Structure formats: C-alpha cells, structure tokens
Structure 1
Amino acid sequence: MARIKDVAAYILAKCGPMTAMKLQKLCYYAYGYHLAWEGRPLFRAPFEAWANGPVAPALYGLHRGRFQLDAGDIPGDPGVLDDGERESVDVVLDNLGKLSAHDLSEMTHREAPWVNARKRANVGPLERSSEPLDDDEIYEFFDALVSADGQQ
C-alpha cells in the first residue's frame, strides 16, 4: 500500500507545480475513488474536515508554510504505487486535474463526507476543525458516484 507522500509525489511528478490546497484535494479525490473502485484504501493517512475542505494532516506536515509545490517537494516515492493505485490516481487527474484548488474545495463543501464531519464537529463555515472524515461515509459517497456513472 502506498503512503500519502508517495501519492502526492506521484501527482506532482505527473502534473507539475500546483498549490498545496490543490494537492490535498487531489489526494482526497484519489483516495475516495480508489476506495470505491478497489474496495481498499489508497493509503492510511486520515483526512480531517478543515475549513477549506478535507486535509490530511500527515501531508500537511510535509508542506506546511508553503503555498506552491513542485515535483520533488514532497519526499515520497512515486514508483511504489501499484497498478491499481496508479490507475485510480491517473483517472482522477485526467478528470479533475484541470480544476483549480478553489473549484475542488467548493466541490468538497457540497459532499456528504466533509459536510457530515463538519456537522459532527458543530463548527461554522470558517471555524477550525480536526474532525476526521469517516471512511465508511467516504466509501458510500464515492461508491454512489461510481455506480451512477456506470448506469449512464
């Protein structure tokens, strides 16, 4: 199983420079879709319901204080992703990689895993929260998206 820093390093190597917020959201979407497609987590780092959307504190610790990130800035090994992990990340990048950090953040604000975690924490839109997103809720949300896409 890859680590979040390996996935982040893979994304940066493939896509080039991006904001830290965009990297966080792409890691989140890759995690969610991989969970639905493969039935297993992409990595073990949990996400929390921060004000700007899901954030993995483990990844945040690697880029704290930096706005822009480039290939090589996250000390992970993109080569350790297995075929299924790489495919999940690639599909997410192909479909969401052109969106801005703000667009991705806004998307998460309309989605059950983040919304429910914020409700559990009983916090307002701009308040801090370290409430974890629930993996069962992430799976249910992304599985419903994948199932709906498959029926079209």
Structure 2
Amino acid sequence: MYNALDIAKYFITLADPEEEDLITNLKLQKLLYYAQGFHLVLFGKPLFKERIEAWQYGPVVPEVYRFYKQYEPNPLPQPDDFNVEQYDRETQELLDEVYEVYGQYTAPTLMRFTHQEKPWKETPLNEEISHDLMKAYFETQLVK
C-alpha cells in the first residue's frame, strides 16, 4: 500500500506544464479519489491508507490537501523527490488510466462530477467517505 502523497506526486509528474496541462490542489484531490475508487474495485484493497473526506468542494485527502495548501489555486510544482520505480506496474497502469480519463477535465468540472456521485452525496460533510461506499459506486463505473 502506498501513501497518498506518493500517489499525488505520480499524478503531478503526469501533467505537462508546456502543454498547459496543470494540476491544482483541487484537481489533484479528485484524481486521488478516482484512483482510490477504481483500485478498491480492481484489486479489492485500498491504494493508499489515508482517509478521503467529503468536503464542500468534493472528496479530499486532508493530509495531501494540507501539504499543497500553500499553492492555493495555482498549479502544483513538479516534485523533486519522485522515483517512478517505487510504483509497481499495476499501480502505474491504473494511475495512467485514471489520468488519461479524468486528467483532461478542469478542477471545477471534476468537482461537478463528484457532486453527482453517490460516495460524496451520501456522506455527511467533513466525514470520511467509506471504502464500501466507494467500491459499490465504482463497480458500476467500470466498462465491462
């Protein structure tokens, strides 16, 4: 199992600033949520141990949010301490796929998506979104 900050760094390195492909903290939070949800379904276990909570603007991993909070709505910088070899092949493939599907959207668009989805809608504000709720929802989202 990874920690959420390592997964966050992976997503940030996938962004291409030269292509105007930038990740803000808000966008990063949604990508973490989608990665965790699909990982729960595909592998039957969490991708990272940190909680995802239902905040006003959608699902958030509080530790990662606080780590990048200083950048406010600005794009997050590329991490200095990134090593792709710390991620197994299955994890890389999942994260690449999540980024390919969801990375194309803006943070506000991703926020609107998550506000339509059961895990966020059925969790009281500022409470943890349960793995069971996420797994049940994301099972319905897999293309069979």
Taking structure 1 as the reference length, what is the TM-score of the superposition?
A: 0.84
The 5-angstrom pairing of residues 5-44 of structure 1 reads 5-16=5-16, 17-44=22-49
Aligned 8 A contact 1:7 1:78 in 2: no
* Matching residue within 127, 136, 141 for 2:137: 141
* Pairwise CA distance, 1:99: 0.4
* Matching residue within 83, 87, 90 for 2:93: 87
Equivalent residue of 1:85, what SS?
helix
Structure 1: distance between partners of 2:31 and 2:121: 18
State the Cα RMSD in Å: 1.5
Equivalent residue of 1:18, what SS?
coil
* Letter aligned with residue 90 of structure 1: D
Match of 2:60 in 1: 55
| Cα distance, 1:130–1:79 mapped onto 2, change above 3 Å | farther
Structure 2 gaps, min length 5: 17-21
Structure 2: distance between partners of 1:93 and 1:52: 20
Deviations 1:33-75 (A, max 9, x none): 11111111110011111000000011112111312202117x6
* Letter aligned with residue 13 of structure 1: T
* Pairwise CA distance, 1:79: 3.3
Structure 1: distance between partners of 2:113 and 2:25: 17
| Cα distance, 1:21–1:60 mapped onto 2, change above 3 Å | same
* Pairwise CA distance, 1:76: 6.0
Structure 2: distance between partners of 1:45 and 1:76: 20
Identity level (%): 33
| Cα distance, 1:115–1:84 mapped onto 2, change above 3 Å | same
Residue 116, structure 1, aligned to residue 122, structure 2: yes
Equivalent residue of 2:123, what SS?
helix
Taking structure 2 as the reference length, what is the TM-score of the superposition?
A: 0.88
Aligned 8 A contact 1:113 1:138 in 2: yes
| Cα distance, 1:79–1:5 mapped onto 2, change above 3 Å | farther
Structure 2: distance between partners of 1:76 and 1:39: 27
Structure 1 gaps, min length 5: 119-128
For these two proteins, the number of residue pairs brought into alignment is 137
